[in-house]
């Protein structure tokens, strides 16, 4: 005999980088299993693959490609998903680590208080010379996850090449170019021109939150800066 089908509610949220509204359902036991296994592995790239897979299953708006989302979009959406699936409050254990005091403080963090702030003056259009410029995209999870962790110049150029949306000059906008062509173009820049591009990536928004708390045992005030998805689930 067929068992009854359970209805799951749907919620709406906004993708930070594009302001597009999307719908999602909470994650279910089958998805929690994927996340739990990834958490135990303690491998950041495995964790981000698991988060991506769960988002793919839970976003109900058709035609959405999670692989193209900016990394901070993924982190933000995952927190929203967690809020509707497990609860809006994350319980953090914060240890006071100054001097002899090792007091452990229970902090309740409301997910709705965590935001992604995109600086108003962050311009994705970079003027390279008087006539030539480029328009950049935020790194997607697909691009970011393919990068080796080391910070060498080759992987930086690779990352940037994957994020160039268009190149333009006074006459024309170039949208159709190969990865090799754009890498050659980037390698032909001089130091100050390349720095302008690099500065954009340094300022890509991150999911972050500051917590200030006063230790009831010794009376000192502590400040903590949480950044990146993993820090919210320590
Ligand atoms: Zn203390």
| Ligand 1 centroid to residue 18 C-alpha, Å | 42
The structure tokens listed for 214 are 């006063």
| Ligand 1 centroid to residue 114 C-alpha, Å | 25
| Ligand 1 centroid to residue 216 C-alpha, Å | 7
pTM: predicted TM-score of the whole model, two decimal places? 0.83
| Ligand 1 centroid to residue 105 C-alpha, Å | 9
CA distance linking residue 123 with residue 118, whole number of Å? 10
Helix (H) or strand (E) holding 149, with range, is none
CA distance linking residue 194 with residue 136, whole number of Å? 13
- Output the tens digit of pLDDT for each of the chain's 234 residues: 889 888 889 999 999 988 999 999 999 999 989 888 887 877 777 888 899 999 999 999 999 999 889 989 999 999 999 999 989 999 998 888 777 888 998 999 999 888 888 888 999 999 999 999 999 999 988 777 766 666 678 888 988 999 999 999 999 999 999 999 999 999 999 999 999 999 998 888 888 899 999 998 999 998 989 887 777 775
The vertex-231 CA angle with 234 and 44, nearest 5°, equals 90
CA distance linking residue 90 with residue 113, whole number of Å? 11
CA distance linking residue 35 with residue 22, whole number of Å? 22
| Ligand 1 centroid to residue 10 C-alpha, Å | 43
């Amino acid at each position: 005999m067929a068992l009854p089908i359970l209805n799951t509610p749907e919620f709406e949220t906004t993708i930070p980088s594009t302001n597009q509204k999307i719908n999602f359902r909470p994650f279910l036991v089958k998805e929690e299993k994927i996340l739990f296994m990834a958490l135990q592995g303690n491998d950041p790239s495995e964790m981000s693959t698991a988060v991506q897979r769960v988002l793919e299953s839970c976003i109900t708006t058709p035609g959405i490609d999670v692989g193209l989302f900016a990394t901070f979009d993924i982190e933000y959406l995952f927190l929203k998903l967690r809020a509707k699936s497990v609860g809006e409050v994350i319980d953090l254990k914060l240890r006071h680590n100054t001097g002899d005091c090792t007091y452990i403080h229970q902090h309740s963090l409301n997910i709705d208080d965590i935001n992604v702030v995109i600086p108003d003056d962050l311009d994705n259009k970079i003027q390279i010379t008087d006539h030539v410029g480029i328009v950049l995209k935020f790194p997607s999870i697909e691009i970011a996850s393919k990068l080796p962790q080391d910070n060498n110049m080759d992987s930086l150029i690779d990352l940037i090449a994957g994020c160039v949306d268009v190149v333009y000059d006074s006459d024309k906008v170039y949208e159709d170019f190969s990865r090799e062509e754009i890498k050659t173009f980037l390698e032909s820049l001089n130091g100050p021109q390349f720095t302008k591009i690099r500065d954009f990536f340094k300022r890509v928004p991150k999911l972050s939150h500051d917590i200030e708390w006063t230790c009831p045992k010794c009376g000192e005030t502590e400040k903590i800066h949480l950044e990146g998805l993993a820090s919210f689930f320590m």
